[in-house]
Each structure stands twice: as structure tokens, then as C-alpha cells.
Amino acid sequence: MKNTLYIDNLPPAFIENDLMDLFSSFGNIVDVKVQVDRTHGRPRNWGCVTMETPQGSRLAMQALNGKEIGAFTLILSESRPMDRHKSVVL
């Protein structure tokens, strides 16, 4: 398992500190990002967390995938690199 997890369906007010608090019990965190809408400056509903070890990522995935936070159910998956060679169809 890779160490970076993609987290979808975050509550709208979630910021990076909230993700750090949520994931810190599963091991050391290397990096946390909550995507921000460039136009409005508000957090979007997804982010990424990089754990120090694959074991920490695995534990977090098992414990948090499907966890409800308010009216939002978290969806976790392994982060995958973007395929820069794929064409975008509009």
C-alpha cells in the first residue's frame, strides 16, 4: 500500500488541522493537503494525507473509510499519480 491516501466527501468546513487530528492516532503524518477553491478560497470537499509508513496508511484506511462525520461519510482510497498522457475529453 502507498502511504498517501485520498479523502473524499469531507465536511465543507474541514481544514488541514482537522485532517491532522483525525489521522494522527494512526501514525506520524508526513503531509496534509485540503484542496481549496481558487476562486472563493474555501476548502473543497477532498484532500490527501501522507502517512510515514504503509502500516499507518492501512490502519487509517480500515478505521476511517466509511466513517461518518456529521452528515458526511468519508471515502478513502489510495492516491494514484495523475496520468499526464491521458487525453481529456470535454
Domain locations in the chain as residue ranges: 4-78
**Residue from 69, 72, 25, 79 nearest 49 by CA:** 79
C-alpha cell at 43: 476548502
**Ordered per-residue pLDDT tens for the chain, 90 residues:** 579 999 999 998 888 999 999 999 999 999 999 998 888 888 889 999 999 999 999 999 999 999 999 999 999 999 876 665 555 454
CATH H-level superfamily of 4-78: RRM (RNA recognition motif) domain (3.30.70.330)
Starting at the edge strand found earlier in the chain, the sheet holding 29-36 runs: 29-36, 43-51, 4-8, 75-78
* Residue the block writes with cell 499507518: 56
pTM of the shown model: 0.82
- Residue 76 CA to residue 65 CA, distance in Å, equals 5
Cα radius of gyration rounded to whole Å, the chain: 14
